[in-house]
Chains A and B, each alone.
Chain A
Amino acid sequence: MNKIPTICPYCGCGCGLYLHVEDGNLTGVSPIRSHPVNKGTLCVKGWNSFEFIQHHERLKYPLIKVNGEFKRASWGEAIALIASKLTGIKRSYRPDSIAIMSSAKCTNEENYLMMKFARAVIGTNNIDHCARLCHSSTVGGLAETFGSGAMTNSISEIVSAKVLFVIGSNTTEQHPMIGMHMLDAVNRGAILIVADPRKTQISDFAHIHLRHRCGTDVVLLDSIMNVIINEGFVDIPFIRRRTENFDAFEKVILRYPPDVAEKITGVSSQDIKKAARIYAIEKRAMLFYSMGITQHITGVDNVHACANLCMLTAHIGQPMTGLNPLRGQNNVQGACDMGALPDVYSGYQKVSESDIKKKFEHLWRRRLPSRPGLTLTEMFDSILDGKIKAMYIMGENPLMSDPDVSHVKEALKKLEFLVVQDIFMSETAEFAHVVLPAATFAEKDGTFTNTERRVQKIRQAIEPVGESMPDWKIICALSKKMGYNMEYRATHEIMEEVALITPSYRGILHHRLDSNFGLQWPCHDLNHQGTPFLHRKKFTKGLGTFIPVDYIPPAEETDKRFPFLLTTGRIYFRYHTATMCQRTSTLEREYPECYAEINPKDADSLGIKGNSMMRVSSRRGSIIVRAQVTDKVPEGTIFIPFHFREASANLLTNPAVDPSAKIPEYKVCAVKIELVESKRDQKD
């Protein structure tokens, strides 16, 4: 029996765990007690993260589709076919007719190689990943204000904070171990302000719960800043010394006094004032946000508003004081850091800047494209427009995760060539021409970067099942077949290349990550001990920029035909498109089917009782779900988790996107609800 320390594959907390191995079998999991994030705890998904790894449904060998059916193939055949198809498509059209989806579930090394593959081997910047759907507004929005789109503080600082302001994050369910630190802080006397239309576990502990209408975050935040300005809580020296564009910003803020905000958000002006005063007065105040802020057509505006609030009160650049976007996937931070994005190389170095491009061309010995590529949300439109002919998807499942999935399905069908590299036959993989079996986190080495920028090592515990291979080895093999040699004997060699060319990762090498649970970037050299909090003396970009934001209503508002607001999200026992957790017995059992939360008053008016089936329809589609009548959701709003294949909430969601970040508006669309009469008697 051996116990291999590694990192949990689920969320961005990046908890440390041991995988228990006996005779090549995984027999269990236990938490790392001394880990700074989880401190001997795990959430239910972490505790059960061993079960899917050796599941019988794992993809065990490459599959090639012949006459509509998958046939087992050798690695040699599969790689040769992909290489010849991609080369052919690149020649007969152009490199930009190929699009690549990298993965926030894969390691930094793999994301780096995938972006190198896209740019150096294929010759396109059409590479993106699911961060587009969760925090692209953060990456873009904070780059403009602070110069760096990541959590400014560390998770272990939370417990010593005095005020926690959590907006649009169901923390205890979606980042459970961060939620734990928050509750510990509350136990120690911190004041907790939660802004969320829904009642959640964390809101139960809030001293102030602001239940604003979905999509009115800008108004809520602007009015809080209005109170802060009017009541004189502004940190003027800080604004003078470290920020710019305050005057233009102030003009806009003055348009949002609390009584105006009350009408739009539904939050009483008293509560707005109270929250503003508490947040402004205390120095050790941390602001947290997540999908509730980012997944709107105004996602970037929302992020700007959060950043403005921090600068206005000088709540930035100190320990226990800052702005903290909670990243979703285990390595979504890392996938962004590694440049699996259409406009940047690793370390957010812009593809459009010729000096940087030259640097990469020199290292990679290839001419690189300079125009930014397509974002994930644009890729599917471009397939339908005939511009994209082939797609390579590594460890993502857009057929479940993207908005308006019928549109995605249509696009996937139209592709001339689709490769999916995954651990299970996902909904998306069904449409592929070639499916490649990848190894899970337990079967490979590498690093993940968690939401607090901590680069941590994952370690191989067992041999890959069947013929599956780590993603980085697959990319290397394919690249070689396409005439570009990628020779790495192990993942630490890839990291050496990353460090060489990425300033914020310069001091991050595998051997330095063995003790003390990794390093937090930026880490400038081999002696640098990492950065627990950002923007200490100055912002990454120099001066912090106030960006005034005005209220723009959601793209789709309720009307007579579609009188309810639908907001989507996740549940604690499931994760994303459920590829892993639906293969975990205790997780799957907890929520065997999709449901919708509906307020008792709304349910009454529609004749819906608990457990009734109801049809929820939007302009794009319709699903049938079981009703859960609860006051967790406010009147006029329903909530549906998006994890379920049979009732995919993303058949309903609006593909309208934020104009700059291209993030879809998952959090608001208009729907109607009808009671579905049950065929069977409701006996018993």
Chain B
Amino acid sequence: MSRIAEIYLPSKAKVIDVIEMTPDSKLFMVMPEMPFKYKPGQFVMFSLWGVGEVPISIASTFGVQKHIELCVRRVGHVTSAIHRLKTGDDIGIRGPFGNAFPITNARGKDTLFVAGGVGIAPLRYLINEVIKNKKDFRRIELIYGSRNPSEILFMDDINSWQKKGINVVLTVDRKDKDWRGNTGIVTEHLNKAKVSFKDAHAFICGPSVMIKAVMQDISQLGMYEENIFTTLESHMKCGVGKCGHCYADGKYICIDGPVFSYREIRQYNLNCTP
């Protein structure tokens, strides 16, 4: 009998560094014992012995370094336990799972990224990938909103993206005394994007309320629903379409997604506003 892959068995990984990004977000550098290839938008199941498993999207770019980077916001029981991890701790990892952001069709077009809060993390690889093949794309723009200036994540990346020629609009909900930039939520700044909406692709990631508002607004600005993409979150236990928790209206977030177009979200009535 042929050997069956052990899809539920996490493989060992080590935390090699922890960076505190904001009061409730940390970036974990994780070295898997068995390295794997992954694509932008995919996620892993992050396993903590005795506590449980949660899906976390990969924030690093494949091929840049051996470890993977996972940005974890502390919201619940498992993520709180993850936040207590220190350098050197062992964890379990399964994956990568899920589909990826489709960028092939975006080639030759304008590309708009819209991120809110930790939502920048899953887009990071994608932005790097697009910049790497910059000549294949027309205008590349990023609109990124944070709660306050100290919570802007990956500032080094943002600076380097800007140097490589992408137009970045930063905005904060609440400014501090040093902030000279934009304020307000991202939807108020969508008009600053100099993309031609009718012929552009958008990739959105952030809190669900923001995602919904941005998708609505940019489709009203003329972008086709099938060119607007986002990644959805859900309660998940397996990551491989078996446990049923993320199943909604005929689709599994974990294997049919987590990346969906606005068209699919509307067609399947997917729940992006939990």
Contact = CB atoms under 8 A, between A and B. Distances in A.
B208 A684 contact: yes
B147 interface: yes
A683 B24 CA distance: 13
A684 B173 CA distance: 12
Interface in A436-454: none
Interface in B181-211: 207-209
B147 A684 contact: no
Interface of B: 147, 207-209
A677 interface: no
Contacts of B147: 681, 683
Contacts of B208: 684
Nearest to B210: A684
Contacts of A681: 147
Contacts of A683: 147, 207
A684 B212 CA distance: 11
A684 B24 CA distance: 14
A587 to B, nearest CB: 16
Contacts of B207: 683-684
Size band of the interface chain A makes with B: under 10
Contacts of B209: 684
Nearest to A592: B77
6 contacts: A681-B147, A683-B147, A683-B207, A684-B207, A684-B208, A684-B209
B258 to A, nearest CB: 17
Nearest to B76: A592
Nearest to B274: A684
Interface in A2-21: none
A681 B209 CA distance: 15
A681 B23 CA distance: 13
A415 B117 CA distance: 55
Nearest to B207: A684
Interface string A536-564: 00000000000000000000000000000
Nearest to A681: B147
Nearest to B235: A589
Contacts of A684: 207-209
A681 to B, nearest CB: 7
A421 to B, nearest CB: 28
Nearest to B75: A684
A683 B147 CA distance: 9
Nearest to B77: A592
Interface string A669-684: 0000000000001011
A140 B209 CA distance: 58
**A-B pairs with the 3 shortest C-beta distances?**
A684-B207, A684-B209, A684-B208
A683 B148 CA distance: 13
Nearest to B209: A684
B244 to A, nearest CB: 13
A684 B206 CA distance: 9
A681 B207 CA distance: 13
B130 to A, nearest CB: 28
Interface in A625-684: 681, 683-684
Nearest to B206: A684
Nearest to B174: A681
A684 B147 CA distance: 11
A684 B272 CA distance: 12
Interface in A211-255: none
A643 to B, nearest CB: 18
A681 B117 CA distance: 14
A616 to B, nearest CB: 25
A113 B160 CA distance: 78
A555 to B, nearest CB: 40
A331 B4 CA distance: 48
A592 to B, nearest CB: 8
A682 to B, nearest CB: 11
Nearest to A56: B50
A490 B143 CA distance: 75
A683 B23 CA distance: 15
A353 to B, nearest CB: 57
A683 B209 CA distance: 9
A230 B208 CA distance: 63
B228 to A, nearest CB: 20
A679 to B, nearest CB: 11
A394 B6 CA distance: 45
Interface in A246-270: none
A681 B208 CA distance: 16
Nearest to B24: A680
A591 to B, nearest CB: 14
A583 to B, nearest CB: 14
B92 to A, nearest CB: 19
B123 to A, nearest CB: 18
A677 to B, nearest CB: 17
B115 to A, nearest CB: 15
B31 to A, nearest CB: 30
B125 to A, nearest CB: 24
